[in-house]
Amino acid sequence: MTYPIAILVLSALGMKTALRIKASMPEVTIYGLEARVEGADFSYTNFGETVRQLYQNGHAVIALCAAGITIRSLARVLGDKGAEPPVLAIADDGSAVVPLLGGTTGVNVLARQIAAILEVSPAITTSGELRFGTCLLNPPPGFELKNPEDAKTFIADLLGGKTVRIEGDAPWLQDANLPLDDDAELRILVTSSDVAPHKGDLVFQRKPTDTKSVSSAEATTLAGHKHGRLAVVGLGPGNPDFMIPAVKRVLNNADDVLGYETYVRMAGPFRSDQTLHMTDNREEMQRARRAFELAATGRSVVMVSSGDPGIFAMATAVVEALHESVDASWHAVELEILPGVSAALAAASRSGAPLGHDFCVLSLSDNLKPWEIIEKRISLAAEADLAMAFYNPISRHRPWQLPRAIDILRKYRNVDTPIVLGRDIGRPAETLRVITLAELTPDQVDMRTVIIVGSSLTRSFERRDGGKWVYTPRWYGTKPES
Ligand code: SAH
């Protein structure tokens, strides 16, 4: 398995080292800390989040900073050892190369390669590695280890003093200093055929040369499946921890990713074989049609929205575009909508449970519907004593609508009704404020805010950190006996 390689840089000196590496390994992608590093392929603002996201999306990670920073950042996402991509720490001046994770996925090979470029010795700590000089477990391209599950025992046996014989041609093991013995019980078998490993075998299979890697789009075409896929996915509010695994999977398998630039960036990082289509186009139907056109050629297309794709986002336009189309190739596309954590739910969870009873979700934008409808809905929702979540609450072009909405609320609700203002929830700049309806003014709100308005039963109380908990009880009128 090969991993796309990401280099994370935090300083100008680190950038020099990264460029030295890239000069010999042009396939790497450099991520630079915004405002500190110039000339990177991509910039990021939060090291921890970026390194976790890259790692979780299956990138080999090279961090040009202290090993401790990288380990601490990744600690909470370290899981399945088998699938772990390589992670290396490199001193920002290039003086030390330290493989940290990914012993079975080639970290030491990568460490050697980079150490050679930087003209230093890699700090390899895997005992099997040190002893045998080369990583048995990482054959060169064209060979595949058939039984990696037996490798640990195999190496332990070798380290314990057993000898080994090699059958077949394994040029990469020539300098391995293996304890060779023609009568050995352990065997390394290199073969072109599909043999089942015996006990004590480590089997490397030579792959036929005509199956060199093809992109999934080409593979689809080769296999003759003409219809592609279109997934309309919700990224959640921002933090990848809030993204469902199925979305991560389709992003990983995507040939094309479409969406507003901010969301496409949020969904990344991506490999160089994936095509990004950053659309500024405000016309949703046009974007939806574009997605079908691409998918109909047999590609795997993912369209990203923040939060949930079905809540004031792209899923509706996509389904509508399909409904309007008579093109058979569009109807043959495998269409899938994958949900996400919507802004109201993310903000609600941060503040307690303000949406714990009946509630409704309203967009205050009158771009696509008349303002009278919005006013009417707010009035009726207030009268029905629903808690509410307001999306798209205000913008430069829509300055007077939110004040009108607040006036309506004050007609129906007490001035001490709790209001939650969630801004950039799940993103590095997240803020959450709990105020009252009396205190709510439009200047505290912008397009990156979701407003939660309590019902007549919603209440709040102090929490230890100085903020407030908010909840809407599930009983109505009088509390049932408990
Ligand atoms: N599909 C999205 C909503 C898109 S409409 C979802 O389900 O969340 C855009 C509005 O959503 C913004 O104006 C804001 O009101 C709200 N919003 C989106 N992301 C947000 C976030 N991270 N924090 C607070 N509000 C957010």
User: Which of 138-147, 391-400, 451-460 comes out lowest in average pLDDT?
Assistant: 138-147
423 shares a domain with 306: no
229 shares a domain with 171: no
- Ligand 1 proximity of 100 Cβ (cutoff 6 Å): no
> Which among 317, 341, 365 is the end of a domain?
341
Residue 33 lies in a domain: yes
Distance, in Å, from the CA atom of 441 to the CA atom of 474, rounded to the nearest integer, reads: 29
CA distances in angstroms from 294 to 1, 154, 181, 235, 272, listed in the order given: 28, 48, 58, 21, 18
Distance, in Å, from the CA atom of 335 to the CA atom of 153, rounded to the nearest integer, reads: 45
Tell me which of 392, 420, 450, 453 to substitute to probe ligand 1's pocket, judged by most ligand atoms within 8 Å of the beta carbon: 450
339 C-alpha to center of ligand 1: Å?
14
User: Is 460:453 a contact under the CB 8 Å cutoff?
Assistant: no
- Segment 429-475, tens digit of pLDDT: 999 999 999 999 999 999 999 999 999 999 999 999 999 999 999 98
Does this model's pTM top 0.75? My answer is: no
**Atom 17, ligand 1: which residue's CA is nearest?**
343
Residue 367 lies in a domain: yes
Residue 482 lies in a domain: no
Domains held by the chain: number = 4
Contacting residues for 440 by C-beta, under 8 A, at least 6 apart: 406, 419, 451
- Segment 197-239, tens digit of pLDDT: 889 999 998 876 574 444 444 444 444 445 699 999 999 999 8
Statement: residue 131 has pLDDT above 70 = no
458 shares a domain with 393: yes
Residue 449 lies in a domain: yes
161 C-alpha to center of ligand 1: Å?
61
10 shares a domain with 121: yes
**Atom 9, ligand 1: which residue's CA is nearest?**
392
307 C-alpha to center of ligand 1: Å?
6
Residue 107 lies in a domain: yes
228 shares a domain with 182: no
CATH number at residue 59: 3.40.50.11220
- Ligand 1 proximity of 422 Cβ (cutoff 6 Å): yes
Residue 88 lies in a domain: yes
Statement: residue 96 has pLDDT above 70 = yes
Residue 266 sits in which domain range?
Answer: 216-341
> Which among 71, 99, 125 is the end of a domain?
125
421 shares a domain with 352: yes
Residue 130 lies in a domain: no
Our CA angle for 338, 344, 349, nearest 5°, is 100
> Which among 341, 368, 388 is the end of a domain?
341
Mean pLDDT confidence for 68-81 = 84
434 shares a domain with 379: yes
3-state SS assignment for residue 84: coil
- Ligand 1 proximity of 392 Cβ (cutoff 6 Å): yes
- Segment 341-377, tens digit of pLDDT: 999 999 999 999 999 999 999 999 998 899 999 999 9
**Atom 6, ligand 1: which residue's CA is nearest?**
307
389 shares a domain with 337: no
Residue 136 lies in a domain: no
CATH number at residue 250: 3.40.1010.10
194 shares a domain with 223: no
Statement: residue 92 has pLDDT above 50 = yes
234 C-alpha to center of ligand 1: Å?
11
Q: Which atom of ligand 1 is least distant from the CA of 237?
A: 22
- Residues 70-98, buried b or exposed e (16+ Cβ, 10 A)? beebbeeeeeeeeebbbbbbbbbebebbb
Bridge partner residues of 138 (DSSP): none
- Ligand 1 proximity of 306 Cβ (cutoff 6 Å): yes
Q: Which atom of ligand 1 is least distant from the CA of 424?
A: 23
CATH number at residue 379: 3.30.950.10
Distance, in Å, from the CA atom of 109 to the CA atom of 398, rounded to the nearest integer, reads: 57
94 shares a domain with 174: no
Average pLDDT for the chain? 89
Tell me which of 49, 242, 312, 423 to substitute to probe ligand 1's pocket, judged by most ligand atoms within 8 Å of the beta carbon: 312
459 shares a domain with 399: yes
56 shares a domain with 35: yes
